[in-house]
Amino acid sequence: MDLKLNNRFKISNALLVVVVFQIGIMNGFSQERSKILSSEIFDASSLDWELWGYRPDAWRINFDFEDFSGNWSEYKNIPFEVPGSVRNALKRAGIIDDWNIGLNSSSSEWIENRHWLIAVKIPDDWLPGNDENLILHCNGLDHKGILKINGQETGRFENAFIPYTFDIKPYLKEKNNTIVFVFECSPENLAQIGFTSKITDWKPRFYYGWDWIPRIVQIGIWDNVWISRSMVDKPEMIDVQIITEADRKKNRGELKIKANLNSTALSGNVKISLSELEGKNVFEDVIPGEDLLQQKVWDNLKIIRWWPNGSGEQVLYNLQLSLIDENGDVVQQITRRIGFKNIEWLSCEGASANADPWICSVNNKPVFLQGINWTPIRPNFADLKEDDYRKRLETYKELGINTIRIWGGGFAEKECLYDICDEMGIFIWQDFPLSSSGIDNYPPEGENEVFAMSQIVEHYVYRLQHHVGLLLWCGGNELFNRENSAPITDKHIMISTMKEILGELDPTRRFVVGSPSGPSISAVRENFGSGNNWDTHGPWKLPFSASDKSMESVKEFWKNNDALFISEAGVPGAMSAEMINKYRGKYNPLPANIENPIWRNVNWWLEWDEYLADHDGQPTNSLEEYVTWSQNRQIEGLTIAVKSFKDRFPACGGFLIWMGHDSFPCMVNTSIIDFEGNVKPAAIELSKIWKGN
């Protein structure tokens, strides 16, 4: 790491003092997992927020920040739910139509070209006393704009992937105080086709159109907003690291904790308590607070190990850290739900000596990693609730998967997803938010961009590290060298920075430079047997040979495919005729080709020509017939692929399907669960393989 980057790294660590303090309180506030006992916490989502829409910058000379008025606004006084998206607020107000119907998504793209003001008044009884602070905490702002307190610029935000905190006390009046978030215009283009090396804006990229979604760009507050009032210089722990491990062969665990404490906390003690979820105590210890400045280890703990879905039980524990001041009073509590597992990465049978290890051994038992690539459930994920996540994850658990890859074109999901995965035994492969762009797939290497990513990586680690389901970190999706001829390596400055941060903050967990990784991007007939197919991507359509368009050719491809791991591959299949008719709007559902606007809207996976060829160019005019044909191809193609790899285990380590579920009602896509959460027939057949039936 060069000197300039090292200086920025130190700055970003300082910023994390604010970030992690926020996380600790927020977990407790929303989920009763942590609290600052010397603080009062106010839920800002309970207030009556309003949305205002202006042409860019017109609000600067027209909006009244005291009484929320402005006659130049195009939209005013629209009720706004926090967390929530601008788009959903406009839909509820009847201003725009459902963007999931027909081609409505394109008719609401104008939303990106406005400035949106999200405003609320602070209750007077929330205001601080003379010796108190008042801090505004924002877990997710999407993505760029200005915070105004009583019309005064209090701070700026420009990264959707990290939280922000603002000291608002200096801007307060005696009463009638206001908060206004001004969201500026979104970046013009972060879409699938472009230049990864030119990415300078930190906003989820899938909004801008991908092979499974049209352009639907979220703007708004995607996670909790809250206010803390506390005494100045209160004792507190920050930057808390929690690492757990288990013995390979027996139910014994190890717990490692490290934290920073501010000056007023160093003279206190910390009580560490580990208990079963039912309340039975596992151990307690009281240590001087300053001991946590270095990693403290408790070993040989009598625990029950955590297993992934299909391999055993998911036993979890409550860990509580209580900060006790000089008077013996508990002034802060941080609670995390944790588990204990042992992970070893072993070489695949028959792999070349220099190949990456892709057999995941859990508690001394090699486990085939089977599952899906996870994309956000909706582009307006700000509006999702815990139940939306639970329903989708329950379906996956019942199907028999044990792994999801949270893809790099999205974001680190809401906290509830990680909690539910811990409960259900679902491993998480977590990408950092970088993805390919088709033309250029080379990560940015400018100092500002590397620094921004270092902030993101640090935040992700501190926020997610304690989750037992978190399996590995990954640099991002389809990141290649400048020639697009091979996956990226850790010689790249952004990837090496990720690796260095993870080596310091989460050294026991695996880091994969990207997906795919190794010498080859894809395993294809031409490189079978080369020993260079480690973690590969593709294919996403049936891999026929040039001379054979039968399923025998597909079987032959997968029989000879010698990849050690597949982190992406799929086969397209239409959603049901009922769903197509529900979301097609005014458009005729047939023909299912590029000439039909409703199919052209998201058109990567059209197979109309193949359908015609299979019917001698004379198909019946039946949507149901086409859907059956398409879904049967998906069933056969996916089951051949997944079964071939599971049968090869342990010569290979796993297979993750691209993709799990639709974020938009695609007429045809590689998903196995549709937009509303209904399983496609392929998922039912895959479940038999996953469960070993």
Domains 39-231 and 369-690 share a fold: no
Q: Beta strand pairing status for 75-80 and 132-138?
A: unpaired
Q: For residue 623, give every residue at least 6 positions away whose Cβ sits within 8 Å of its Cβ, in sequence order, or none.
A: 577, 580, 581, 589, 590
Instruction: State the pLDDT at residue 37.
Output: 55
φ, ψ (nearest 5 deg) of residue 104: -60, -25
Helix or strand or coil: residue 50? strand
81, 208, 290, 301, 348 from 298: Cα distances, Å: 44, 47, 16, 7, 33
Domain boundaries defined on the chain = 39-231, 237-338, 369-690
Spatial separation of the C-alpha atoms in residues 538 and 521, rounded to whole Å: 9
What superfamily would CATH give domain 39-231? Answer: Galactose-binding domain-like (2.60.120.260)
Spatial separation of the C-alpha atoms in residues 586 and 570, rounded to whole Å: 30
Q: 536, 523 in Cβ contact below 8 A?
A: yes
Instruction: State the pLDDT at residue 36.
Output: 53
Instruction: State the pLDDT at residue 15.
Output: 32
The pTM (predicted TM-score) of the whole model is: 0.93
Q: 253, 292 in Cβ contact below 8 A?
A: no
Spatial separation of the C-alpha atoms in residues 513 and 462, rounded to whole Å: 20
| Nearest-5° Cα angle at 261, 256 to 265 | 120
Instruction: State the pLDDT at residue 685.
Output: 98
241, 336, 343, 432 from 500: Cα distances, Å: 16, 26, 21, 14
What's 680's DSSP letter?
P
Spatial separation of the C-alpha atoms in residues 554 and 542, rounded to whole Å: 6
Instruction: State the pLDDT at residue 19.
Output: 33
> What confidence tens digit (pLDDT) does each residue in 191-217 have?
899 999 999 999 999 999 999 999 999
Which tokens go with 397? Answer: 């658990």
Quickly tell me which residue has 């020509």 as its tokens.
Answer: 609
Residues of the chain with pLDDT under 70: 1-38
> What confidence tens digit (pLDDT) does each residue in 604-660 have?
999 999 999 999 888 888 999 999 999 999 999 999 999 999 999 999 999 999 999
What's 186's DSSP letter?
P
Q: 26, 137 in Cβ contact below 8 A?
A: yes
Instruction: State the pLDDT at residue 377.
Output: 98
CATH entry, 237-338, from 3.20.20.60, 3.20.19.10, 1.20.1600.10, 2.60.40.10: 2.60.40.10
How does DSSP assign 499-514, residue by residue? HHHHHHH-TTSEEESS
Q: 223, 22 in Cβ contact below 8 A?
A: no
Closest CA to 664 of 160, 83, 211: 211
Look up the CATH number of domain 369-690: 3.20.20.80
Decide: residue 692, CB within 10 A, 0-12 exposed, 13-18 middle, 19+ buried: exposed
Instruction: State the pLDDT at residue 34.
Output: 46
Decide: residue 131, CB within 10 A, 0-12 exposed, 13-18 middle, 19+ buried: exposed
Q: What is the widest separation between alpha-carbon atoms in the chain?
A: 86
Q: Beta strand pairing status for 427-431 and 470-474?
A: parallel
Helix or strand or coil: residue 113? helix
Q: For residue 521, give every residue at least 6 positions away whose Cβ sits within 8 Å of its Cβ, in sequence order, or none.
A: 478, 480, 485, 486, 487, 536, 537, 538
